[in-house]
């Protein structure tokens, strides 16, 4: 074999090795491309901008690399197709080079073809195996390392503009999901399928698998879906005395209550039970207003995803936040326990069980009714007619009579019967039962024609409802 032939073989071997490395690098970049989002790259830029240990040159160099990656991510399908196209070309060229080397070695034609085909298949199999997984390094690191190579592959891909136009047309036709949102949706579906497979294999019990599925949906669940609405909020006036606040805390069972001005939208702050107790224990001036101990409220938008809400409340060490709508009005409030329930499931307590109980007679003409008891059942018990079209339950009736959300002991009279709110139970400290009895100590209920005017007998009634227990 001549020196020229040996030199040619060496060159072919080096080129074949370079093509194999190029194919594997593109496979790794393609696998990372399907796992990196623009939001994660934005967070990386913020981290670099606040890193004081980096020099300005290194910082700008890394940020420029991230910007290149963001431009590739913006056309994810086109970039992935370009990587696959160049990989295929590299695999074919490797097979051709191996066949040429076999020809230079004097092998028969069928052996030349066999060597070329086998080598191309081996390189393609390795690159395909590496591509979807990208296990050699973190996806973001792999993409940033090969970002210039991927950019060159996109430039070399024919019909690039046509594929970009087709991708944009498909996106406009869908009209609802961006590339990142579609990728996130696919990843969530893949995660659920993986959890199902683990459950079928006996790796987890059904309860654990359900919690894992709930974790995957935290990013798609909004705060408005788990919050306590403003109609169920218990609030206190900023001008109320500390003694009144202590009574309200005791009756409602909550440890944090919003303080308001003229109405619920006029939020002033949050009153803590421990602050009230501390103020009364040291100053003993119960006539002080709660405005003197109000804490600044934590406000969150109702469109905030639950996973972001949970991490925010965890980092800021706040257990209660007030939810605002797009117009700046108060939409409700949310606690960290509400976010936890999205993971572990609904925490059913004694309040939930009592709500489904049957009416119970506890004395002569005295009944204990679950709050969800229909008004029609109350009418049958006392043979009266209650003409209330806008409420359906005894709890709704008592709320309408009071003009605010009932707390334990709140009572009102209508149609000759008295409705009294029972004890607040459960995590949300909701009223579970309502005691109904004839008004004015009568031994029997009044007839339909002898109806009295509605009157409210509870003087310390708060203005709205719900929070977190102590």
Nearest-angstrom CA–CA distance, 206 and 214? 12
Q: What confidence score (pLDDT) does residue 453 get?
A: 37
pTM: 0.47
Nearest-angstrom CA–CA distance, 439 and 14? 100
Please answer whether residues 73 and 179 qualify as being in contact, where contact means their C-beta atoms are separated by less than 8 angstroms.
yes
Nearest-angstrom CA–CA distance, 33 and 288? 62
CATH fold for domain 350-456: 3.30.465
Q: What confidence score (pLDDT) does residue 270 get?
A: 92
Q: What confidence score (pLDDT) does residue 218 get?
A: 77
Ordered by start, the domain boundaries in the chain are 3-161, 176-216, 223-344, 350-456
Nearest-angstrom CA–CA distance, 371 and 198? 42
Dihedral Cα 109, 115, 118, 119, nearest 10 deg = -140
Please answer whether residues 295 and 273 qualify as being in contact, where contact means their C-beta atoms are separated by less than 8 angstroms.
no
Q: Which residues contact 18 (CB under 8 A, 6 or more apart)?
A: none
Token code pair at residue 38 = 């623009």
- Nearest one of 113, 93, 91, 90 to 103, comparing CA atoms: 113
Token code pair at residue 413 = 């009279």
Arch. (CATH architecture) of 223-344? Roll (3.10)
Radius of gyration from C-alpha coordinates of the chain: 35
Nearest-angstrom CA–CA distance, 252 and 246? 10
Q: Which residues contact 15 (CB under 8 A, 6 or more apart)?
A: 97
Q: Which residues contact 415 (CB under 8 A, 6 or more apart)?
A: 382, 384, 385, 386, 446, 451, 452
Per-residue pLDDT of the chain (470 residues), as tens digits, is 677 888 888 888 898 888 888 888 888 888 787 777 776 777 777 777 777 777 888 888 888 888 888 888 777 778 888 888 888 888 888 888 888 888 887 788 888 888 888 888 888 787 777 654 444 457 778 888 888 888 888 888 766 555 555 555 554 444 444 555 566 666 666 666 776 677 667 666 777 777 777 777 777 788 888 888 887 788 889 888 888 888 888 877 788 999 988 888 888 999 999 999 888 887 766 578 888 889 998 899 988 888 888 888 888 888 899 999 888 888 889 988 888 888 877 665 544 454 556 788 888 888 888 878 888 888 888 878 887 777 778 888 888 888 777 877 888 888 888 888 887 666 566 777 888 888 875 444 444 333 333 444 444 444 444 344 33
Residue 374 sits at φ, ψ, to 5 deg, of: -65, 150
Q: What confidence score (pLDDT) does residue 419 get?
A: 86
- Give the distance from CA 53 to its chain's centroid: 34
Nearest-angstrom CA–CA distance, 322 and 412? 30
Nearest-angstrom CA–CA distance, 329 and 306? 20
Strands 299-301 and 320-324, how do they pair? parallel
Q: What confidence score (pLDDT) does residue 271 get?
A: 92
- Nearest one of 18, 46, 34 to 142, comparing CA atoms: 34
Token code pair at residue 55 = 């020099």
């Amino acid at each position: 074999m001549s020196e020229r032939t040996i030199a040619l073989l060496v060159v072919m071997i080096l080129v074949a090795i370079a093509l194999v490395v190029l194919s594997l690098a593109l496979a790794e970049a393609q696998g990372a491309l399907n796992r990196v989002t623009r939001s994660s790259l934005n967070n990386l830029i913020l981290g670099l901008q606040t890193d004081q240990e980096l020099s300005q040159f290194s910082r700008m160099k890394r940020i420029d690399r991230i910007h290149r990656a963001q431009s590739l991510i913006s056309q994810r399908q086109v970039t992935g197709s370009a990587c696959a196209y160049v990989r295929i070309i590299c695999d074919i060229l490797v097979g051709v080079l191996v066949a040429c080397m076999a020809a230079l070695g004097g092998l028969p034609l069928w052996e030349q073809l066999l060597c070329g085909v086998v080598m191309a298949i081996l390189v393609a199999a390795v690159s395909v195996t590496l591509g979807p997984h990208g296990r050699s390094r973190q996806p973001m690191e792999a993409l940033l390392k090969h970002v210039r190579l991927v950019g060159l592959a996109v430039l070399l891909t024919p019909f690039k503009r046509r594929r970009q136009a087709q991708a944009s047309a498909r996106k406009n036709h869908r009209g609802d999901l961006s590339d990142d949102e579609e990728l996130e949706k696919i990843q969530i579906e893949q995660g659920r399928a993986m959890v199902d497979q683990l459950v079928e294999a006996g790796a987890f019990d059904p309860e654990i698998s359900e919690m894992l599925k709930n974790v995957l949906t935290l990013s798609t669940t909004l705060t408005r879906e788990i919050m306590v609405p403003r109609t169920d909020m218990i609030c206190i006036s900023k001008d109320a005395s500390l003694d009144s606040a202590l009574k309200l805390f005791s009756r409602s069972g909550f440890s944090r209550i919003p303080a308001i001005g003229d109405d619920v939208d006029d939020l002033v702050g949050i009153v803590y039970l421990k602050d009230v107790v501390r103020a009364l224990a040291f100053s003993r001036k119960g006539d002080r207003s709660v405005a003197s101990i109000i804490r600044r409220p934590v406000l969150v938008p109702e469109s905030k995803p639950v996973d972001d809400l949970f991490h925010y409340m965890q980092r800021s060490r706040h257990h209660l936040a007030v939810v605002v709508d797009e117009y700046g009005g108060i939409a409700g409030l949310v606690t960290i326990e509400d976010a936890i329930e999205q993971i572990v499931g609904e925490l059913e307590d004694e309040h939930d069980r009592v709500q489904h109980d049957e009416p119970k007679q506890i004395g002569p003409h005295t009944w204990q009714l679950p709050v969800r008891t229909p008004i029609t059942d109350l009418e049958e018990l006392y043979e009266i007619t209650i003409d209330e079209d806008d409420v359906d339950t005894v709890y709704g009736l008592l709320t309408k009579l009071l003009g605010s959300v009932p707390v334990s002991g709140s009572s009102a009279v209508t149609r000759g019967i008295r409705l009294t709110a029972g004890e607040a139970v459960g995590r949300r400290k909701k009223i579970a039962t309502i005691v109904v009895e004839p008004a004015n100590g009568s031994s029997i209920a009044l007839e339909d024609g002898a109806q009295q005017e509605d009157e409210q007998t509870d003087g310390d009634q708060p203005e709205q409802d719900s929070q977190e227990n102590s």
